[in-house]
Homo-oligomer: A and B are copies of this chain.
Amino acid sequence: MLNFKYKNPTKIIFGKDQISALQQEIPVEANILLLYGGGSIKKNGIYQQVKDALSQHHVEEFGGIPANPEYEVLMEALKLIKEKNINYLLAVGGGSVIDGTKYLAAAAKYNGDAWDILRNSIYTLEGEALPFSTVLTLPATGSEMNSGYVISRRATQEKLSAGGPGLFPQVSVLDPEVIRSIPKNQISNGIADAYTHVLEQYMTYPVGASLQDRFAESILQSLQEVAPKVMSEEFNYTAAADFMWCCTMALNGLIQKGVPTDWSVHAIGHELTAYYNIDHARTLAIIAPSHYRYNLKYKKEKLAQYGERVWGIECGTTEEKALLAIEKLETFFHSLGIKTKLSEYTEDYNGTAERVEKTFKDRNMLGIGERKQLSPSDARSIVEMSY
């Protein structure tokens, strides 16, 4: 096991009818900015539950944060934060709204051009951000219990990430009932996103961290078990709760402690979203299988273990089990209605591989992956295999 430090101070309030707890959790003297996305929270009743909980608080609002939260939109919110002397943020939404809120929490206390934080990946320490809480409306990214975020800037086609220990939510309310009104394509995205988060922290070289491996496999197995239930038309609270907790545990920092992590699938996938606006989760499903095939010699032991323990593959050499496990992974994505080839999303895919290579070179991303040894030309090859 590798040495590690772990601290996660976010308070999770999980379950039915828990949004009302915000009343006690947020200081009554806070000057709150409530942030949300496209307005679905006004249709499904969540907005009203939040407003009811905060009826004794002063609350300003900022809606319209888009998926892959946009720098330009967030700068409007930052202006409002400064004008209204906001000192507490409340994100009501999915990963995009929460990520945008984290960026705003950091930017509100940053002296200088807010884009610098992302351009230079500035680490936000405790006390260097506004306090904030979240009400999760779309399980997927784990942002409700971690301190990282990703922001897009359409004008420059950039998608960059930052974070730091000052950016853990104070409180996150997770009510599985919110899953009732989520469109199925967003649920399938959430499953694929959480599943790939686990893979990025697990499908690496073995270091004998048996508990972390088993925790990762536990999340993968539970997501597989829960997928058909949360994708079915009939709402199943037990499955919804399982799904929601799996997504949080997939990226709250726990399973990555003491083990190498990869994140190449995300690094490459982010480019596909930046170029073609493909949903984040779907870019991961496009890149992951090719990434594992391309890096088979480094990852075959863990791929075979995944095949054995998660998919019950019993026969074959390590390499055969590993290859079969990648097929199982693709089949799982397909079972969610998620396509795994870039050409199934855009006809305009020629040149993508070269463009990724050039972008990585320009950004000085010369070695990615768990051994920091995948070059921009390796990334090009992986994208080519994903066409």
Contact = CB atoms under 8 A, between A and B. Distances in A.
By Cβ-Cβ distance, the 9 closest A-B pairs, closest first, are A3-B15, A214-B218, A7-B11, A1-B241, A208-B238, A9-B9, A6-B12, A211-B222, A210-B222
Nearest to A11: B7
Q: How many copies does the complex hold?
A: 2
B7 A211 contact: no
Contact of A210 (B7, B212, B242): B242
Contact of A211 (B11, B209, B245): B245
A263 to B, nearest CB: 21
A219 B225 contact: no
A4 B10 contact: no
Contact of A249 (B8, B11, B211): B211
17 contacts: A1-B14, A1-B176, A2-B15, A4-B14, A12-B257, A208-B238, A208-B239, A211-B218, A211-B219, A211-B222, A211-B246, A212-B245, A214-B214, A214-B221, A217-B218, A245-B258, A254-B254
Contact of A15 (B4, B11, B238): B4
Contacts of A218: 211, 214-215, 217-218
Contact of A208 (B9, B12, B242, B257): B242
Nearest to A218: B214
A226 interface: yes
A258 B257 CA distance: 23
B14 A3 contact: yes
A18 interface: yes
Contacts of A10: 7
Interface residues of A, number: 43
A249 B6 CA distance: 12
A235 to B, nearest CB: 14
Given A242-B208, A245-B211, A12 B3 contact: no
Interface in A204-240: 207-212, 214-215, 217-219, 221-222, 225-226, 238-239
Contacts of A215: 215, 218
Contacts of A5: 11-14
Contacts of A14: 1, 3-6, 257-258
A226 B209 CA distance: 11
